[in-house]
Every structure is written in structure tokens, then in C-alpha cells.
Amino acid sequence: MVCTVCKTTTSPLWRRGDKGEVLCNACGLYHKHHKKPRPIALANSNNSRPIRRAS
């Protein structure tokens, strides 16, 4: 599967958009909460999790 917004091929969960398009989990959740497609700047960022450093 390929996300129609960010073109990723890996996702823990695949979702469907309003028109039946295939969305990765991140793009699907963004669309669900904001009612619009995920911006390309967010879609192409690979830093989905903050890096935690030992103190």
C-alpha cells in the first residue's frame, strides 16, 4: 500500500479518507482532526518521535 498524501509504504495502520483514498496512520489522523490533508512539510518529516536523552 502507498499513502496518497506522503507516499510512504510503511505504516502501523492504514486508514481511508473521505473519498476512499488510502492514508497512512499519521496522514489519516491528521485528516480526521483537521478535516484537510496533511501538509507536505509534515508529511515528509521523519522526526515523528522526539529524541529523549538520559539526564
**35 CB-near residues (< 8 Å, 6+ apart):** none
Give the model's pLDDT for residue 19. 93
Q: Which CATH architecture has domain 1-43?
A: 2-Layer Sandwich (3.30)
Model pTM above 0.75: no
pLDDT digits (tens, 9 = 90+) for 3-50: 999 999 999 999 999 999 999 999 999 999 998 888 877 766 655 565
Give the model's pLDDT for residue 15. 97
* Cα separation, 5 vs 34, whole angstroms: 14
Q: Parse the chain into domains and list their residue ranges.
A: 1-43
Element (H, E) at 44: none
What does the buried/exposed string (b/e) look like for 7-43 if buried means 16 or more CB atoms within 10 Å of the residue's CB?
ebeebeeebebeeeebbbebbbebbeeeeebbeeeeb
